[in-house]
Chains A and B, each alone.
Chain A
Amino acid sequence: MSRAAQFAQVAALAAIAVQAVAAADGQWSMPAKDYAATRYSDLTQITAQNAKGLHPLWTFSTGVLGGHEGQPLVVGDTMYVVTPWPNVLYAFDLAHEGYPLRWKYRPEVSSNAIGAACCDTVNRGAFYLDGKLIYNLLDGHTVAVDARSGRELWKSQIADLGSGETTTMAPLVVGERVIVGAAGGEFGIYGWLKALDLNSGRTLWNVHNMGPDADMHVNAATFRPFYDHGADLGTRSWGNDSWKTGGAPVWGWMAYDPQLDLIYYGTGNAAPYNPEQRPGDNKWSSSVLARRPADGALVWAYQFTPHDSWDYDATGAMVIADLSIAGKPVKALVHFDKNGFAYTFDRSNGQLLVAQPFVPVTWAQGVDLATGRPRLDPSKQTGVSKGNVKGICPSLEGGVSPASPPAYSPRTHLFYTSTNNLCMDYEAAHANYLKGTPYMGINSPYNPGPGGYLGSFIAWDAASGRKVWEAKEAYPTWSGALVTAGDVAFYGTLDGWFKSVDARSGRELSRFKVGSGVVGNPITFRAPDGKQYVAVYAGLGGDWALLSGDIRSDDPSDVRAPADYMKDIARHTSQGGMIWIFGL
């Protein structure tokens, strides 16, 4: 047996073991609950019948004001929380009243990362495996911390802050490989993915998302994309050698299929935002890539938005689900893209099976399943020569933010996701590359989408590409989703309501106004007292730290006027990081 095959077998066994443990014991040990990234828990104490009795039982201020994306982890009798920069790691003792801290880990992390992070100082969480917590610091480092003592085990520099690389994503650990990437699509980085050794932090492989085949770990024997063929797609699809500063960052979520031994992740926008500086498809920006964890080899890839002209990152979650499509069982991969379409693939080969809009879309009329390509509306193509292009839906905040991962219930066979109902005008400008500064070239004011609401929480049938129900919200909806075997789904709103809804009908079951807007992802767990709880962060931020107006009160030099499409959000919320736990 080759080393790679041996590794794959071990990884697969480990994956199955972890999945089984996580499913059976009420823990939440990895960002998306399981390797399939379902954010589904089989806990059943909280049901659609009793959820109206949910109320807050415990809160804790993290002392940090940045946007609290991501989610806590619960392993055994401990809850772990990573804050936005300065990336404090808290360990709470769930076995004692008041959940006092067991320990607190304070990493050294550069304050320069604040300015290099485009969209607030967010962190999307830690991953627990083998007694270690693994997470990224904003300034381009990955750390491993001993889960019992809070002692730092290793710290590795993975990214170059000086080039505009910051690290906001949660790692995925497969076997002994810690998979990480970097943000920086606004700084013209040369987007990449790395695997670190779980025990030492040493880099095992480093692959790029574009560039020469050698840099991308593409070889003819293993690379079999369903729609695209030929060598060096990662350079040939970028005019003027623009791949060298082409962005395609990795800052979202990953999934792993132990049977196929493939990791799935999405890439962000191509840089700069003015598409005329990078003629061609720009592969593999705004794409999903399937790679082997052992050596990073690329197996298949699909580009959602060729020649991205609207900042449509594809870093949103890739969810593994076994679906029945037209009566046939399908090993599916489901993705809600910033570009407004929801995609259902055959995850073994990247064949697109379903692609339908889940929010109002104007940049394309649809997606051709035979070619995999969007049917573009030429009047919505952007670039310096196009001037100010109006009425593009969705806005570059996305039909859903990649920061807001969906959930999938194998009981209802439905996906649950937040959405944004915003459109934009897009006026591109020539961008100059200057290392360590933004490489953008855009002015893009937003407008409300049609219908008189700015966001929603929806249930989606990915087998047919159909919206099953929709709970409309006054503001863009930016939290992740959670769904349970009690058939209850959970989400939070930008103005700070934490809600539970009936997973089958969308009927609201409970609501509570938490301390700040919710941009994090709810989780559920069983505490040492045997009861089921739901935890979520409050902490308005992410893009909404920039766009909400006067929601920041700790800096007298930063006072912002309200956004003209939602003038009153600052009436309802302001910054503030808190963990909330709800129970019956």
Chain B
Amino acid sequence: MNANVPVAALAAVLMAALLCGCTRQPAPAPAQPATPPAVRYESHLAAGGLLPPGAVLRNPHAGDVAVAKSGAQLFNAMNCDGCHGEDASGNWAPNLGDGRWRYGGADAEVFSSIYYGRPKGMPAFGGVLGAEGVWTLVTYLRSLAPPPNIPTESWQEPP
């Protein structure tokens, strides 16, 4: 398969196949108030202690196990596994299932990372997947259960 021509078609087919029977209603577009357009990061510091208003983005599929399963397939089909590893366990880009987030782990923050991309090389997938596809990925990633601890000291000899 070659180049750009089939990409949109591929995405459409994938989305149709993956979401057929999974959604209870037509996917709602995320709320997009005119002002302000950006997602607010709850972890950011605020000058004067006053948080600016932020866009309200709600995951229409939050907690939906069937959508999460579709998202797992979409994760591989969109080559997310190439950078982020099998089962999102990390490769040259970070693990997305360990509960540690560079750009925030709330649904809206993860949506924003995937939809618009990030400046360390995370591509924007909003163009090829649309909001519904990105929410499907968010639902999958948020379904991953973080391990209790990453064993970084496993060189210790047993007593």
Q: Which of A107-124 contact B (CB under 8 A)?
A: 111-120
Query: Taking the complex as formed, is A452 at the interface, i.e. its CB lies under 8 A from any CB of chain B?
Result: no
Contacts of B128 in A (CB 8 A): 434
In the complex the two chains form, is B94's CB within 8 Å of A558's CB?
yes
B143–chain A nearest beta-carbon distance, Å: 19
Of the listed stretches A229-237, A496-504, A549-557, name the one at the interface; the rest are far from the partner chain. Answer: A549-557
- Central interface residue in A112, A244, A556, by most chain B CB within 10 Å: A112
Enumerate chain A residues within 8 angstroms of B155, measured Cβ to Cβ.
562, 567-568, 570-571
Stretch of A2-10, A354-362, A437-445, A472-480 lying at the B interface? A437-445
Please report the C-alpha to C-alpha distance between residue A120 and residue B77 in the assembled complex, in whole angstroms: 24
From B23-31, B45-53, B57-65, B146-154, give the one contacting chain A: B146-154
The reply to whether A115 and B122 form a contact with Cβ atoms under 8 Å apart is: yes
Contacts of B98 in A (CB 8 A): 559
- Among A119, A245, A558, A567, the one with the most B-chain Cβ atoms within 10 Å of its Cβ is A558
Distance between B84 CB and nearest chain A CB, rounded to angstroms:
10
Tally chain A residues at the interface, Cβ within 8 Å. 43
Q: A117–B152 contact, CB under 8 A?
A: no
Q: How many angstroms between the C-alpha atoms of A112 and B116 in the bound complex?
A: 13
Name the residue among B82, B91, B155 with the largest chain A CB count within 10 angstroms: B82
Is A432 touching B2 in the complex (CB atoms < 8 A)?
A: no
Q: Does B159 contact A (CB under 8 A)?
A: no
Known contacts A433-B3, A439-B82, A568-B155; A560 and B121 CB within 8 A of each other: no
Residues of chain B within 8 A of A436, CB atoms compared: 123
Q: Which residues of A contact B83 (CB under 8 A)?
A: 115, 437-438
Chain A hits for B119, CB < 8 A: 111-112
A429 pairs with B121, CB closer than 8 A: no
Contact B100 A558 (CB under 8 A): yes
Q: Is A325 an interface residue (CB 8 A)?
A: no
A560 contact set on B, CB distance < 8 A? 90, 95, 150, 152
A120 to B91, CA, bound (A): 10
Best-buried of B119, B128, B154 by chain A (most CB within 10 Å): B154
A573 CB to closest chain B CB (Å) equals: 12
**Contact A437-B122, Cβ < 8 Å, known A241-B2, A245-B2, A245-B3:** no
> For residue B4, which residues in chain A have a CB less than 8 angstroms away from its CB?
435
Interface: B10 (CB within 8 A)? yes
Chain A residues engaging chain B, CB cutoff 8 angstroms? 111-120, 186, 240-241, 244-245, 429, 431-440, 443, 545-546, 549-550, 555-562, 567-568, 570-571
Give the shortest distance, in Å, between B97 (CB) and chain A (any CB).
12
A559 to B99, CA, bound (A): 11
| Chain A nearest Cβ from B151, distance in angstroms | 6
Q: Decide if B44 is an interface residue (CB 8 Å cutoff).
A: no
Q: How far is the CA of A558 from the CA of B83 in the complex (A)?
A: 13
Report B-chain residues with C-beta under 8 Å of the C-beta of A111.
119-121
**Shortest distance from the beta carbon of B141 to any chain A beta carbon, whole Å:** 14
A244 to B3, CA, bound (A): 8
A437 contact set on B, CB distance < 8 A: 78-80, 82-83, 123
Minimal Cβ-Cβ distance residue in A for B152:
A550
In the complex formed, the residue of A with least CB distance to B104 is: A557
B2 touches A113 (CB 8 A): no
What is the predominant secondary structure among interface residues of chain A facing chain B? loop
A433 and B121 within 8 A (CB): no
> B7 at the A/B interface (Cβ < 8 Å)?
yes
A-B contact pairs, 22 of them (CB 8 A): A114-B120, A115-B122, A118-B92, A241-B2, A245-B2, A429-B76, A432-B79, A433-B1, A434-B10, A437-B79, A437-B80, A437-B123, A438-B79, A440-B82, A549-B152, A556-B100, A558-B102, A559-B98, A559-B100, A560-B150, A562-B154, A570-B155
Nearest chain B CB to A474's CB is how many angstroms away? 12
Closest to A187 in B: B82
Q: Is B41 positioned at the interface, with any CB of A under 8 Å from its CB? A: no
Asked if B86 lies at the interface with its beta carbon under 8 angstroms from chain A, I say: yes
Q: Say yes or no: B152 contacts A562, CB within 8 Å.
A: yes
Q: Which of B76, B121, B122 has the most CB of A within 10 A?
A: B121
Bound: A309/B81 CA distance, A: 20
A161 CB, min distance to chain B CBs, angstroms: 9
| Interface flag for B12 (CB, 8 Å) | no
- Chain B residue at minimal CB-CB distance from A564: B154
Q: Is B93 an interface residue (CB 8 A)?
A: yes
* Distance in angstroms between the alpha carbons of A57 and B7 in the assembled complex: 56
Known: A435-B7, A560-B90, A568-B155. A550 touches B150 (CB 8 A): yes
Chain B residues whose C-beta falls within 8 Å of the C-beta of A240 in the assembled complex: 1
Given known A116-B121, A550-B152, A557-B102, contact A440–B79 (CB-CB < 8 A): yes
